[in-house]
Amino acid sequence: IHDDDVNSGSELGFVPVIWKKSWNGMNEHCDGRSWKRVRFCDVRVANRNSGSVRRCKVVAKVGRFQVGDVVVPRHRWAPSMRSLGVYRAVEYEILELHLLDPISKTKTSIQSTHNLSFNVSPHNVLATLAPRRRLIARFERKWPVQVSLYDASLFSLKSDVLASAIATLASTICVFILTFYAREAVSIYRIPSLSMAPTLEVGDALLVEKVSLRKRELQLGEIVLFAAPDTLKQRIEKAGGYIGPRDLFVKRVAALPGDWISVVDGHVQVNGEEIEPADPKLRIDPTEVPPGMVFVLGDNYELSLDSRYFGLLPQDRVIGRPLCRCFPFTRAQLLDAHKPR
């Protein structure tokens, strides 16, 4: 505490009242136990007798270092430190410690900071450092170098390893969480057949989003990706094929709940309007699409295995909507997924 009257506060009846202040994005209580990691705090000192309040400044408490310790600078890539040769995250050995008198500018050699008075500022404690290992030529300097503990923001090797381990663990957890949620939001799907040609060709890669289905109903004419319903699985397995648990199909919504569909004389009709040819042998009597179901068709009707053959598609089997074709790059473009057929 830089105030002579306050330094002797216990004799004059002053009581420190500690206030909380944000520093480097963290809130710290300057309560004496955590001053080691606090740069500056707003401190008010109250007089027991008069009740008056005075403001003063508290500086960071000097860390516990001694000659021979291995330390790691954690300054924020300060240019002044780099020019001296004090590099962030490089291991240094403390060769000497000196206490600088701020008035006379004289230096007193010390072996440890453990017993320094509380009001000694880390600005006035100088450490003589040299790297433990040889650095590459561009980082070499005339060693040793002398810096203040405050400017170098030194950490003990143990504290640095612990902090790095915690940061690595936190980063790994964040990446895992982001990856998990990203997979739930978007994915890449490769077109395996010509059932949607010429809109989508074999080998096209689609970026598919899966979030909008929770807020927006399916629309007529839009392209959707869906997991195979039981009727489609049975048809493929009966033909000797196999559908994996992650296999998806892509079609276009041709009819929504409330629409009437039929296949008459080799033509698919929706609400009485012919929209696509069909197998002449195929016949579907006029049927109303019930709630929770849709009727889907492929753009290439000759090669598409769609609702003409496996029936209505439950909406809860729809996985996502394609946003764009991202491969091949020569055909990359946004997809108008809601374009009517």
Catalytic annotation, residues: 195, 251
**Tokens 């929504």, residue?**
256
Residues 185 and 211: beta-carbon distance below 8 Å:
yes
What separation in angstroms does the CA of 142 have from each of 84, 128, 154, 199, 318? 9, 12, 20, 68, 67
213 CB-near residues (< 8 Å, 6+ apart) = 318, 319, 320, 321
Distance of CA 280 to the CA centre of its chain: 55
Cis peptide before 280 (omega within 30 of 0): no
With contact defined as beta carbons under 8 Å apart, do 38 and 15 qualify? no
Helix (H/G/I), strand (E/B), else coil: 77:
coil
Tokens standing for residue 257: 């709940």
State the Cα–Cα distance between residues 256 and 293, nearest whole angstrom. Answer: 7
Contacts of 185 (CB under 8 A, 6+ apart): 209, 210, 211
Tracing tokens 């439950």 back to the chain, one arrives at 314
Give CA–CA dist 21/297, Å, rounded. 63
Total residue length of the chain: 341
